[in-house]
Structure 1
Amino acid sequence: MNTTHETSPASSPAGQPKPGHARFPLGQLAATPGVLELLEQHQANLFDLLARHASGDWGDVGAEDAHTNDQALIHGYRVLSCYTLVPGDPDTRVWIITERDRSVTTALLPSEY
């Protein structure tokens, strides 16, 4: 599956990403079998997570990693988001990584990295 998103201003006045406003292109989309199984088990929608990622909602990363992602958009580095499907359960974490050249975005489990 191949998708592109136009870059547009994505921050609200409070500095929070606007849902649905892509800040960078995702390129080719890929997902591992493990993450697809986890998403199915928890009835989660991968496209919702991809939309959050593209809009700059980095999920469950710390402040330093969120800042690193924001800088990565400026300087052309890899971007990593983390979403926990069941709060407090680290076994339900989904990582979404967009490569530095924005050619590929992959959804995977941390254990598959």
Structure 2
Amino acid sequence: MYSTNVIENKEERYFPASIDFDLGEIVVTQGVIKMLDILPLELLKPFLARHKGGDWGHVCIQDKQQNDHATRYGDRILSSYKFCEQSIWIITEADRSVTTILLPSEY
């Protein structure tokens, strides 16, 4: 898989290497709930599936590699996706007890 490094304006290769991991309890912050307004929470399920499946969304290659490593060695995992014209983050804690869906401003 190729990605463009915007800062250095060059293409870099990324080969996914994540393994399956537990999400733990799923928590959605008030900011995301407010953003959804009347939309159902089920609209977030595809993003959770991508996160669990090793598709880290809109993060740099180094963060993708760090996430892949984290699935194997028990570190925190962070994905970023566009939803309703905003970024949402999904963070799974290192101990895999909880996965939080939040706005970057809530971090």
Give the whole-Å Cα distance in 2 for the aligned partners of 1:41 and 1:80: 26
Q: Structure 1 residue 38: deviation in Å?
A: 2.2
- The answer to whether structure 1 residue 28 and structure 2 residue 25 are counterparts is yes
Give the 3-state SS of the residue equivalent to 1:68 in structure 2.
Answer: helix
Structure with greater contact order relative to length (CA < 8 Å, sep ≥ 6): 2
Please name the residue that 1:66 is paired with: 64
Contact 1:60-1:82 at 8 Å conserved across structures: yes
Q: Structure 1 residue 40: deviation in Å?
A: 4.5
Contact 2:16-2:68 at 8 Å conserved across structures: no
User: In the TM superposition, what are the counterparts of 1:1-113 in structure 2 within 5 Å?
Assistant: 15=15, 23-40=20-37, 45-85=43-83, 92-113=86-107
TM-score (norm. length: structure 2): 0.75
- Deviation per CA, 1:46-94, whole angstroms, max 9, x where unpaired? 11111110000000001010000000111110000000125xx5xx000
Q: Which runs of 5+ in 1 are unaligned?
A: 1-14
Look at both structures and tell me which one has the larger radius of gyration over its CA atoms: 2
TM-score (norm. length: structure 1): 0.71
Answer 1 or 2: which has greater strand percent: 2
Give the whole-Å Cα distance in 1 for the aligned partners of 2:94 and 2:20: 14
Percent identity over paired residues: 47
Give the 3-state SS of the residue equivalent to 1:26 in structure 2.
Answer: coil
Q: Which runs of 5+ in 2 are unaligned?
A: 1-14
Task: Give the paired residue count.
Answer: 91
CA RMSD of aligned residues (A): 2.3
